[in-house]
Amino acid sequence: MSNDLYQASVPQFLRMLNNLKGILEKAGAHAAEKKIEESALLDARLFPDMFPLTMQVRIATDFARGTTGRLAGSEPPKTEDNEKSFAELIARVDAAIAYVRGFSAPSFAGAEERKISRKIRGAERTFSGTDYLYQYSLPNFYFHLTTAYAILRHNGVAIGKGDFVGLFG
């Protein structure tokens, strides 16, 4: 089963992080072409009580790195949350891709039953590896990835479903 958790996480994270990188590259090019201050897009939100684009990207990359590391039995290294440009967000995505790529299926041995504890909204929660991946990590990863996409699309960046889901095969 640990191979199942590997297949359900690492390849998906890598695929979607690469798609996110492409979306951010298009957003940076859009801002340059239209002479829009990058901060207008980086600080954009779908609604005032939601996180801005930069935070959506940070959280998505943190979920990919954190989930992969924890399922493999290690805590991922801390990252700075100080990106102020598309180039810096892309570098963050590249770092997440490199980290996730560093894990193989054998590193997930025992992952399904591994106890993973996280503080969620002030309360400590403990999950099995299986529940951590399927009930917590993947939904959160896709939520923040989708929200980042929606913020940019809402703000006129010429991206579509194909940019989000990428090529198949």
What is the Cα–Cα distance from 4 to 127, expressed in whole angstroms? 17
State how many domains the chain has: 1
122 within a domain of the structure (yes/no): yes
Phi, psi of 116 (to 5 degrees): -125, 120
* CATH at 138: 1.20.120.450
Could you read off the pLDDT of 29-50 as tens digits, one per residue?
999 999 999 999 999 999 999 9
pTM over 0.85: yes
40 within a domain of the structure (yes/no): yes
39 within a domain of the structure (yes/no): yes
169 within a domain of the structure (yes/no): no
What is the Cα–Cα distance from 160 to 26, expressed in whole angstroms? 11
Range of the domain at 145: 2-164
107 within a domain of the structure (yes/no): yes
Could you read off the pLDDT of 85-120 as tens digits, one per residue?
999 999 999 999 999 999 999 999 999 999 999 999
